[in-house]
């Protein structure tokens, strides 16, 4: 028995270069290089190592403009068996709810094996990144789990075992206060953190195979969906305003020739207290 | 906005009406309850037994302020084993009602049953807003519940306001790794859902003796084939408190000179209840684990207070910390670029300055006669 | 040697990966892509290895490509390729720190098919070329560094990449690796090392400026472009030139200086560029433009003398790797494209004979000799040594020209006749007539 998985990969702008045009107040995205969302590569590596161990098929799935094909091409280079891109104007402007609606519909189609190019039937695990670096929401992975009725495992920092017979996955999940070992029933949707292994160095034969492998591009018409629930129309949230974060300015230099270090320290905590950060007991 | 009026009303102690919503989930009662809860502002309390995450109370305080502005109730939602004490605690922080959903499958957190419980409550009582902490658990639950409710969810908000005309919730959050701020609205669907970063809002003063309505229910859960079980939990040692959750971060760079000197920072961090982080130079030198690295190739952090000790302030480092509310830099080079982004600059030898800072914190704590760490009284953001 | 990692089970259209190729091209620049495209179109099983994320990702180019040689390889490319602007005006500026003499050539002719030249943004243009090669049937393998050559006796028998299971065999390898001829050396073909004085260092910035502003400041019709070459004090008196090219909504600005004058110092090149941008006439053109990116790159300028052996057993070298840059105007993309195409034609001819030894591949040299590639390179054989040994061309002469012009055009109490006398005296005090004549003669000999 083998494990079939699906990896969600999003193409994102290199966010360190995204900024607001001070004149127009709009987002400058033009000319900014696109990359695969870094967390998704951890997801991809996790899927690859599961396949190394248990066999099975991996499908890479992305939704985005036509050039998002690049990230899927990259995934093929790592040896993914099949790559599907959802690209259609109808998908554009989707928030996370409309995104999971479209992605989940695609997963259903892939899992149904209706056009099982890979011979895969069913999807046992969906891997995605803990969040995308543009949206930063982390909502798509769990949203898909919900729509597809998959178990939900977020912030996984290491996937340790899959019991194929019992159809169970064991994984460590990162929390603020520690780590928990969870056992989830398959099918399961896993979102991974940067603590998972980084992506391998793809082997040359895989790249050669990938060079000629097609990326399938599906439009809304290829999916069993209600168009009203796609893209901007299907998105309950709206961006009402975007603006540049307040730029940091040089603040106050606390050191001065006449002040001792102890005085500087006292001054600092006085200043912090003025700004609402107090030390000691409540009300103190 | 909370103002004296609301405090007065709360302390006046409207008599709690302890009501059992026995036949929850069934139609006729559901309708009645809906009329009762409609339009409320809810906060989902994140808790482990009777211990609630501080962000939950911060949010109750904020929900109260928003609710007062809209003329509706703020309510807490406690999904668990029936933690009455949390319900009451919520009143002391400003909630007028607590929804107490309990059941055998709800004792420990698990996404599916908790999502079902929350979505069920929301469908029945029709709150207009649901807030959760932007923690690993809060995001986990919020994403699932928003999907179930087919509504909008805004992640990681750092500011909430009410649009005075349309009465919509204006949810402001950083996007593109903090390079851009966006205000998001959910104009046509209810509830409007958001997760909010810990430490963004001050925790309100608890008002002793405050009371409110407890609405208890036993949600019916649909049987599903999904299941997630906890097998083990390893609490992180103190110094490994996640940088993501930390309100205070004390970070060290190459100026620390050696691994052992990080002890200096740990002491300060410990006194302030914060976490220790580092620049890449310190990580590359092998003085501290790479999980502590802040910056472009490390973590992006947004604590309330960030100390940069012996860190020059390279852009790659700034990328990970400049969204902090307050930055304090200690560096012996007055020209160090870190001072350009620091709210408070201390030009000096960190080996001399750090222990004095720690000492000052201890002194203040002793003076206040308490062991509390750093308390955030109001939003530190300017 | 080249076993697939795992049979992935992909059936149908994609097919299995070939165990060996007919030809492998190293480097996805203009030279490599011309070869790859030409071979693939002829049905040859060819793989092109490129170390960058994609073809063009590591490339910088000031940005003018000529239509004629490009169309020879990619017919009517202008219909589809991502071009920035159609160049209708070429300027030559002689600039000092505060003044400029401008020579400008503009022709409506340039605006007609097949056109003369275009500005391009290499990151986009090369990507398009690569897509053409892929569409023609080539295997485009990116993010893969060719580290060594495989050998079968003396014969080059393939390429070794740094990847797992990274060996790839082929009948013939075409090296088109650009200015650092690392594999060319490994193949035992290189002659001059890529060092001073045979290379120039170019530093470039791309500055963003709205389309209307560009067309306004450079006085251009919509979509038309200007290419400006600048000589003078701006390179700090070092042998080299500056350039400005207009793109759609960016400007490429840069300087190239011979490396020996910089002693390997990139920062110094940036200092020169910064100074260059301060020149008042230039500053006006780029005012308010925000930096988008900057890069540094070497240009082989050794010319004909430094060309490696172009062929060996199972191996050919094309483009910058073969030193094919015309040092007078630093135009290499043309020669790269043409040499790449000839390399492909050579391979096609040899395939018919089934022999790739060095005697068969010598056909490549013959083809090049007959083409403008070697003819031009031979013609400018002495240009780089000449420029390197005559720094006055870059400092003193432009300075003097400007001084002369200034004096002549300034109206003051001196009569024109007196001015002329004064100017001649000034000129002779700086440049003895004998030296001037000799410089002129040398220049004529090596540059024309
Ligand atoms: C692609 C890329 C990604 C990178 N990603 C990251 C990243 O994620 N995070 C990151 O941090 N860096 C990153 N860097 C590295 C970054 O550019 C800097 O090199 C690094 O941040 C410098 O660390 P530092 O400030 O600790 O060291 P330095 O720059 O060496 O600064 C040390 C500072 O300590 C001060 N100092 C020394 N002694 C004392 C003393 N006794 N008391 C007080 N002050 C003292 C000095 O004046 C100096 O300012 C990245 C670089 C690249 C190229
Ligand atoms: C600033 C500047 C301005 C210029 N302006 C012009 C101009 O206006 N017009 C003009 O015609 N020419 C110009 N040139 C010259 C022109 O850019 C080059 O002559 C031309 O790019 C040469 O093409 P090529 O294919 O030989 O090499 P390149 O374009 O350098 O391509 C070589 C490719 O091989 C890859 N590579 C190298 N080694 C390996 C390896 N071992 N394994 C895998 N891949 C490898 C590289 O990543 C690169 O993509 C300019 C050059 C510079 C620097
Ligand atoms: N458009 C998309 N196409 C494919 N995967 C996506 C898309 N959007 C989000 N994802 C996946 O969901 C994860 C979380 O994204 P987000 O909720 O946007 O932060 C990402 O790391 C991806 O794995």
- Name the band, by pLDDT with cuts 50, 70 and 90, for residue B41: very high
- Is A149 close to B224, i.e. CB distance below 8 A? yes
pTM of the model: 0.79
Instruction: List chain A residues with CB under 8 Å of B175.
Output: 134-136, 242
The class (CATH top level) of B41-225 is alpha beta
More confident residue, B316 or C92: C92
* Residue keyed to tokens 């040994």: C389
**CA triplet C35, C38, C43: central angle to 5 degrees?**
120
Q: How far apart are CA C261 and CA C195, in angstroms?
A: 11
Residues B320-357: tens digit of each pLDDT: 788 788 999 999 999 999 999 999 999 999 999 999 99
The Cα-based distances of C161 to B168, C24, C143, C151 in angstroms read 58, 12, 10, 14
First and final CA of chain B: distance in angstroms? 18
pLDDT given for residue C328 in this prediction: 64
Q: Which residues lie with the beta carbon below 6 Å from any ligand 2 atom? A: C 26-32, 49-52, 58-65, 145-146, 176-179, 183, 202, 204, 254, 256, 297, 299, 319-321, 325, 330-334, 336
Ligand number nearest to the C-alpha of C50: 2
Do the first three CATH levels of B2-23+240-368 and B41-225 match, i.e. the same topology?
A: yes
Give mean pLDDT, residues A81-94: 95
Residues A194-250: tens digit of each pLDDT: 888 889 999 999 999 999 999 999 999 999 999 999 999 999 999 999 888 777 889
Q: How far apart are CA B276 and CA B249, in angstroms?
A: 6
Give mean pLDDT, residues B269-286: 91
In the predicted structure, residue B3 carries a pLDDT above the cut 70: no
CB-count burial class (<10 Å; 0-12, 13-18, 19+) for C331: buried
Instruction: List chain C residues with CB under 8 Å of A70.
Output: 54
pLDDT given for residue C239 in this prediction: 65
The yes/no answer on whether domain B2-23+240-368 falls in CATH 3.40.50.1220 is yes
Q: How far apart are CA A253 and CA B230, in angstroms?
A: 50
- Is A16 close to B177, i.e. CB distance below 8 A? yes
pLDDT given for residue A12 in this prediction: 92
Complex ipTM, two decimals?
Answer: 0.76
Write down how long chain C is: 448
- Which pLDDT tens digits describe chain C residue by residue (448 residues)? 333 333 333 333 344 567 799 999 999 999 999 999 999 999 999 999 999 877 777 666 668 888 888 999 999 999 999 999 999 888 888 877 777 878 888 877 777 777 888 998 888 899 999 999 999 999 999 999 999 999 999 999 999 998 999 999 999 999 999 888 889 999 988 766 655 567 778 888 889 899 999 999 999 988 899 998 888 766 666 667 888 999 998 999 988 877 666 665 566 777 788 888 888 888 889 988 888 877 888 777 777 777 888 999 999 999 988 888 876 666 788 889 999 999 999 999 999 999 999 999 999 999 998 987 777 777 767 666 666 666 666 666 667 677 767 776 676 777 777 777 777 777 677 666 666 667 666 666 665 5
pLDDT given for residue B239 in this prediction: 53
The chains in contact with chain B, meaning 3 or more Cβ pairs closer than 8 Å, are: A
Residues B45-59: tens digit of each pLDDT: 999 999 999 899 999
Q: How far apart are CA B142 and CA B124, in angstroms?
A: 17
Residues B64-84: tens digit of each pLDDT: 999 999 999 999 999 999 999
Ordered by start, the domain boundaries in chain B are: 2-23+240-368, 41-225
- Who contacts B190 (Cβ-Cβ below 8 Å, separation ≥6)? B126, B127, B128, B151
Q: How far apart are CA B301 and CA C136, in angstroms?
A: 48
Ligand 3 atom closest to A137 (CA): 19
DSSP-derived secondary structure for C428-446: HHHS-HHHHHHHHHHHHHH
Residues of C with CB under 8 A from a CB of A: 2-6, 8-10, 12-18, 47, 54, 134, 139-141, 143-144, 161, 163-168, 208, 250, 292
Average pLDDT, chain B: 85
In the predicted structure, residue B188 carries a pLDDT above the cut 70: yes
Chosen from C2, C3, C5, C206 to mutate, greatest number of chain A CBs within 10 A: C5
A–B CB contacts, 8 A cutoff, strictly below: 303
DSSP A245: P
Contact A71, A10 (CB under 8 A): yes
pLDDT given for residue A133 in this prediction: 85
Average pLDDT, chain A: 90
Chosen from A49, A207, A210, A216 to mutate, greatest number of chain C CBs within 10 A: A207
Q: Which residues lie with the beta carbon below 6 Å from any ligand 3 atom? A: A 8-10, 37, 39-40, 43, 61-64, 96, 99, 128-129, 131-132, 135-141
Q: How far apart are CA B224 and CA A40, in angstroms?
A: 28
- Give the three-state DSSP class for A243: strand
Give mean pLDDT, residues B104-124: 95
Ligand 2 atom closest to C50 (CA): 44
Residues B217-248: tens digit of each pLDDT: 999 999 888 889 999 999 877 556 678 678 89
């Amino acid at each position: 028995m083998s494990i079939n998985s699906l990896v969600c990969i999003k193409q994102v702008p290199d966010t360190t270069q995204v900024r607001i045009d001070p004149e127009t107040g709009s987002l400058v995205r033009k000319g900014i290089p696109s990359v695969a969302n870094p967390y998704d590569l951890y997801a991809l590596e996790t899927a690859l190592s599961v396949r190394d161990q248990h066999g099975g098929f991996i499908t890479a799935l992305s939704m985005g403009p036509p050039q998002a094909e690049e990230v899927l091409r990259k995934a093929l280079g790592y040896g993914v068996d099949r790559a599907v891109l959802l690209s259609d104007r109808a998908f554009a402007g989707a928030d996370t709810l409309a995104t999971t609606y479209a992605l989940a519909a695609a997963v259903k189609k892939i899992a149904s094996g209706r056009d099982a190019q890979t011979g895969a039937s069913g999807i046992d695990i969906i891997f995605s990144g803990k969040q995308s670096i543009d949206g930063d929401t982390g909502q798509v992975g769990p949203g898909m789990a919900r729509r597809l009725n998959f178990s939900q495992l977020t912030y996984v920092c290491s996937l340790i075992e899959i019991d194929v017979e019992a159809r169970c996955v064991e994984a460590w999940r990162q929390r603020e206060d520690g780590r928990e070992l969870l056992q989830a029933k398959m099918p399961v949707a896993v979102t991974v953190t940067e603590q998972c292994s980084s992506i391998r160095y793809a082997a040359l034969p895989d790249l050669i195979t990938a060079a000629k492998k097609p990326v399938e591009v599906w439009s809304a018409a290829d999916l069993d969906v209600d168009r009203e629930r796609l893209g901007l129309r299907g998105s309950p949230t709206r961006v009402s305003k975007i603006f540049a974060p307040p730029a940091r300015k040089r603040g106050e230099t606390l050191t001065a020739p006449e002040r001792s270090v102890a005085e500087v320290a006292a001054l600092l905590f006085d200043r912090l207290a003025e700004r609402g950060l107090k030390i000691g007991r409540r009300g103190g | 906005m909370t103002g004296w009026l609301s405090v007065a009303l709360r302390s006046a102690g409207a008599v709690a009406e302890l009501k059992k919503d026995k036949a929850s989930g069934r139609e006729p009662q559901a309708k009645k309850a809906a009329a009762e809860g409609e339009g409320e502002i809810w906060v989902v309390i994140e808790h482990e037994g009777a211990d609630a995450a501080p962000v939950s109370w911060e949010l109750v305080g904020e929900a109260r302020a928003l609710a007062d502005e809209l003329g509706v109730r703020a309510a807490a939602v406690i999904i668990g084993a029936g933690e009455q004490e949390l319900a009451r605690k919520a009143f002391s922080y400003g909630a007028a009602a607590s929804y107490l959903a309990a059941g055998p499958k709800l004792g420990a957190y698990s996404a599916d049953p908790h999502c079902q419980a929350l979505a069920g409550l929301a469908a029945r009582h029709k709150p207009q807003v649901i807030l959760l902490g932007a923690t690993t658990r809060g995001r986990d639950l919020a994403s699932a519940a928003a999907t179930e409710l087919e509504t909008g969810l805004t992640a990681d908000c750092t500011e909430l306001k009410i649009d005075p005309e349309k009465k919509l919730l204006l949810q402001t959050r950083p996007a593109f790794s903090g390079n851009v701020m966006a205000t998001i609205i959910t104009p046509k669907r209810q509830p409007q859902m958001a997760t909010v970063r810990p430490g963004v809002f001050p925790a309100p003063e608890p008002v002793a003796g405050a009371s409110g309505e407890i609405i208890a229910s036993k949600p019916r859960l649909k049987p599903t084939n999904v299941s997630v079980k906890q097998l083990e939990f390893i609490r992180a040692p103190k110094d490994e408190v996640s940088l993501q959750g930390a309100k205070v971060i004390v970070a060290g760079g190459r100026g620390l000179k050696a691994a052992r000197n990080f002890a200096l920072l740990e002491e300060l961090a410990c006194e302030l209840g914060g976490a220790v982080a580092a620049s890449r130079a310190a990580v590359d030198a092998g003085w501290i684990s790479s999980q502590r690295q802040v910056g472009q190739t490390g973590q992006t952090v947004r604590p309330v207070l960030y100390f940069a000790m012996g860190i020059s302030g390279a852009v790659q480092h700034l990328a990970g910390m400049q969204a902090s509310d307050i930055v304090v830099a200690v560096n012996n080079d007055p020209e160090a670029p870190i001072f350009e982004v620091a709210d408070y600059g201390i030009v000096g030898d960190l080996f001399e300055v750090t222990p004095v800072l720690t000492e000052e914190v201890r002194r203040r704590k002793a003076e206040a006669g308490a062991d509390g760490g750093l308390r955030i009284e109001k939003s530190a953001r300017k | 040697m080249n076993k697939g990692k795992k049979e992935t089970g992909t059936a149908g259209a994609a097919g299995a990966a070939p165990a060996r190729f007919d030809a492998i091209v190293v480097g996805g620049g203009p030279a490599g892509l011309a070869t790859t495209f030409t071979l693939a179109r002829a049905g040859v099983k060819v793989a092109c290895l490129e170390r960058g994320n994609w073809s063009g990702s590591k490339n910088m180019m000031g940005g003018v490509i000529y239509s004629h040689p490009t169309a020879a390889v990619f017919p009517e490319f202008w219909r589809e390729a991502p071009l920035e602007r159609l160049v209708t005006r070429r300027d030559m500026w002689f600039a000092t720190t505060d003044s400029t003499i401008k020579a400008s050539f503009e022709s409506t002719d340039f605006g007609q098919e097949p056109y003369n030249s275009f500005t391009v943004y290499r990151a986009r243009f090369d990507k398009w070329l690569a897509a053409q090669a892929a569409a023609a049937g080539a295997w485009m393998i990116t993010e893969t560094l060719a580290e060594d050559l495989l050998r079968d006796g003396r014969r080059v028998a393939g390429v070794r990449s740094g990847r797992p299971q990274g060996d790839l065999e082929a009948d013939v390898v075409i090296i088109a690796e650009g200015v650092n001829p690392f594999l060319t050396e490994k193949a035992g073909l290189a002659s001059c090392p890529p060092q001073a004085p045979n290379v120039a260092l170019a530093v470039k910035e791309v500055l963003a400026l709205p389309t209307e502003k560009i067309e306004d400041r450079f006085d251009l019709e919509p979509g038309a472009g200007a290419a400006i070459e600048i000589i003078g004090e701006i390179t700090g008196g070092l042998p080299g030139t500056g350039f400005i090219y207009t793109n759609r909504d960016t400007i490429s600005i840069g300087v190239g200086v011979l490396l020996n004058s910089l002693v390997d110092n990139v920062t110094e090149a940036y200092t020169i560029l910064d100074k260059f941008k301060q020149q008042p006439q230039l500053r006006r053109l780029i005012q308010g433009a925000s930096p988008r990116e900057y890069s540094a790159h070497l240009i082989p300028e050794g010319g004909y003398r430094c060309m490696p052996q172009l062929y060996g057993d199972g191996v050919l070298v094309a483009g910058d790797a073969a030193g094919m840059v015309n040092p007078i105007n630093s135009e290499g993309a043309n020669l790269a494209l043409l040499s790449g195409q000839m390399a492909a034609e050579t391979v096609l001819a040899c395939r018919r004979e089934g022999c790739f030894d060095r005697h068969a591949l010598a056909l490549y040299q013959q083809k090049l000799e007959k083409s403008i590639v070697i003819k031009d390179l031979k013609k400018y054989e002495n240009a780089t040594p000449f420029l390197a040994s005559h720094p006055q061309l870059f400092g003193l002469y432009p300075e003097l020209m400007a001084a002369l012009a200034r004096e002549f055009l300034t109206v003051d109490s001196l009569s024109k006749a007196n001015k002329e006398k004064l100017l001649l005296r000034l000129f002779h005090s700086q440049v003895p007539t004998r030296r001037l004549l000799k410089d002129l003669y040398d220049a004529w000999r090596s540059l024309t």
